């Protein structure tokens, strides 16, 4: 049994199938692996058998296969035979068989996830150190990812039209996460097919002087979606129980009377205020979905470096972002407490693994689809009187 590994781009390697002799046998979804370097790839596929790597473009195959075989030799302390080295450089797999294996694998690798598996149960305790920042890939290739996302966006567009026409519910999507967790990208890609007339996006940053003259829920309450609309909060009133808790000095700049600033009690009080607000909104027809993009500290560093390397993303970088990394463990504790205290049946939190942006977008789009599908919505019925009115319109055309 030998392994087929196909290269995508400069650094991505995907295990796509196994073959015995000339017969291709694609892997199941559980057998998929991904790696971002040859050593990682070796860790994934080296199981006591010599792997065969198929690389594209063909012109570079010899160098890549030689490098990979050198790692195999070093790891196993064995030297392959001359025949084996020739087989590595010129593997006995035809282009047709390789294409067939890839296509078959793509067809047999549907999205296998339940959005409820990422949901924080009401009353449950959340320890983010126990929650993964990665999960099994929900796509078999970049092409397959784009195909799945396009399908989700199309369904979402259809449900959004129904949502707008029924005009009974409003939907509020709240996105929270550490810097560079992918909030902007998720909103942009998942909501790309939604009619702008039925969707509103608000980003909440440092409060203005006017906003600080009011309670911490005031500035977001002004932006709540109307019935039939989808409202998106990129950060939200949760900032006042997250960053303000990590940096308590922020509270003293919010104009509150000193006797009301009890750093032991104020957070529980604010959790109750948030829960009361969300319960009130649900009773009045607003469905709330809260998404926490759970990213690892190493992945954040990788994305910060990418921002520095890309001229068109330099503007996103700031010293403040680097400074906040020193509070990472505190943020994880504070986020865990917040999610535990404020996830409810009517306003649930979802902890979405975010190290893989593509995976995260597929999960988020599935969560939004499931939420809209669960709402009791229908197009307005046309009465006999309305039919007659419409027919009178026809006669005037």
- pLDDT tens string 368-394: 999 999 999 999 888 889 888 989 999
Give residue 374's pLDDT: 95
Domain count, the chain: 2
Of the CA atoms within 13 Å of residue 343, those in its CB half-sphere come to: 22
Please provide residue 287's backbone torsions phi and psi, each rounded to the nearest 5 degrees.
Answer: -90, 125
157 and 38 in a single domain? The answer is: no
126 and 101 in a single domain? The answer is: no
282 and 344 in a single domain? The answer is: yes
Tokens representing 338?
Answer: 């917040």
Domain of residue 267, CATH code = 3.40.50.300
The residue count of the chain comes to 397
Inside any domain, residue 397: no
Q: Which residues of the chain have pLDDT under 50?
A: 1-3, 7-12, 16-36, 47-62, 76-80, 82, 84-95, 97-98, 100-102, 104-110
Inside any domain, residue 292: yes
Residues 336 and 338: their CA atoms lie apart, in Å, by 5
Residues 16 and 32: their CA atoms lie apart, in Å, by 7
Q: Are strands 33-35 and 23-26 parallel, antiparallel or unpaired?
A: unpaired
Give residue 263's pLDDT: 81
203 and 72 in a single domain? The answer is: no
128 and 23 in a single domain? The answer is: no
Give residue 20's pLDDT: 40
Q: Where are the beta strands (DSSP E) in the chain?
A: 2-8, 12-20, 23-26, 33-35, 119-120, 170-177, 199-203, 230-234, 286-294, 349-353
253 is in an annotated binding site: no
201 and 283 in a single domain? The answer is: yes
95 and 183 in a single domain? The answer is: no
239 and 343 in a single domain? The answer is: yes
Domain boundary among 65, 87, 107: 107
Give residue 382's pLDDT: 86
- The answer to whether 65 touches 101, Cβ cutoff 8 Å, is no
Q: Are strands 230-234 and 199-203 parallel, antiparallel or unpaired?
A: parallel
Residues 350 and 120: their CA atoms lie apart, in Å, by 6
315 and 341 in a single domain? The answer is: yes
- The answer to whether 313 touches 307, Cβ cutoff 8 Å, is yes
Domain boundary among 107, 141, 170: 107
Inside any domain, residue 280: yes
Inside any domain, residue 383: no
321 and 174 in a single domain? The answer is: yes
Supply the range of the domain harboring residue 227.
115-374
Give residue 262's pLDDT: 87
221 and 346 in a single domain? The answer is: yes
21 is in an annotated binding site: yes
Q: pLDDT tens across 300-359, in order?
A: 999 999 999 999 999 988 888 899 999 999 999 999 999 999 999 999 999 999 999 999
Inside any domain, residue 346: yes
Give the CA angle between residues 334, 335, 336 to the nearest 5°: 90
DSSP reduced 3-state for 385: helix
Residue with tokens 């099994």: 136
Residues 182 and 354: their CA atoms lie apart, in Å, by 7
pTM: 0.72
Inside any domain, residue 394: no
Give residue 39's pLDDT: 52
Inside any domain, residue 382: no
Give residue 264's pLDDT: 82
For 150, residues 6+ apart whose C-beta sits below 8 A from its C-beta are: none
Tell me how far apart the terminal alpha carbons of the chain are, to the nearest angstrom: 72
Residues 3 and 50: their CA atoms lie apart, in Å, by 8
Give residue 208's pLDDT: 92
20 is in an annotated binding site: yes
279 and 313 in a single domain? The answer is: yes
Residues 90 and 215: their CA atoms lie apart, in Å, by 70
Inside any domain, residue 384: no
């Amino acid at each position: 049994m030998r392994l087929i590994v196909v290269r995508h781009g400069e650094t991505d390697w995907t295990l796509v199938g196994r073959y015995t002799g000339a017969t291709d046998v694609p892997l199941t979804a559980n057998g998929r692996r991904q790696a971002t370097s040859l050593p990682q790839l070796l860790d994934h596929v080296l199981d006591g058998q010599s792997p065969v790597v198929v690389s594209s473009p063909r012109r570079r195959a010899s160098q890549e296969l030689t490098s990979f075989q050198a790692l195999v030799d070093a790891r196993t302390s064995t030297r392959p035979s001359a025949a084996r080295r020739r087989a590595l450089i010129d593997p006995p797999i035809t282009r047709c068989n390789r294409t067939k294996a890839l296509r078959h694998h793509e067809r047999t690798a549907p999205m296998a996830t339940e959005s409820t598996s990422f949901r924080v149960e009401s009353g449950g305790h959340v320890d983010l150190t126990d929650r993964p920042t990665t999960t099994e890939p929900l796509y078999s290739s970049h092409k397959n990812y784009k195909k799945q996302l396009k399908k989700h966006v199309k369904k979402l567009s259809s449900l959004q039209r129904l949502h707008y026409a029924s005009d009974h519910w409003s939907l509020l999507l709240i996105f929270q996460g550490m810097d560079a967790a992918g909030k902007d990208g998720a909103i942009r890609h998942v909501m790309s097919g939604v009619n702008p007339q039925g969707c509103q996006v608000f980003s909440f940053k440092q409060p203005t002087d006017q906003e600080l003259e009011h309670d911490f829920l005031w500035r977001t309450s002004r932006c709540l979606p109307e019935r039939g609309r989808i409202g998106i909060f990129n950060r939200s009133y949760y900032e006042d129980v997250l960053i303000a808790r990590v940096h308590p000095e922020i509270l003293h700049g919010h104009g509150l009377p000193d006797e009301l600033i009890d750093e032991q009690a104020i957070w529980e009080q604010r959790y109750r205020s948030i829960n009361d607000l969300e319960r009130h909104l649900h009773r009045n027809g607003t469905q709330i979905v809260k998404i926490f993009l759970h990213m690892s500290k190493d992945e954040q560093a990788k994305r910060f470096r990418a921002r520095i390397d890309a001229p068109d993303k330099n503007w996103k970088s700031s010293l403040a972002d680097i400074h906040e990394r020193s509070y990472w463990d505190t943020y994880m504790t504070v986020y865990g407490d917040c999610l535990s205290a404020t996830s409810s049946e009517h306003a649930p939190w979802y902890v979405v693994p975010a190290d893989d942006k593509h995976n995260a977008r597929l999960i988020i789009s599935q969560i939004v689809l499931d939420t809209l599908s669960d709402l009791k919505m229908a197009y307005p019925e046309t009465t006999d009187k309305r039919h007659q009115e419409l027919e009178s319109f026809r006669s005037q055309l």
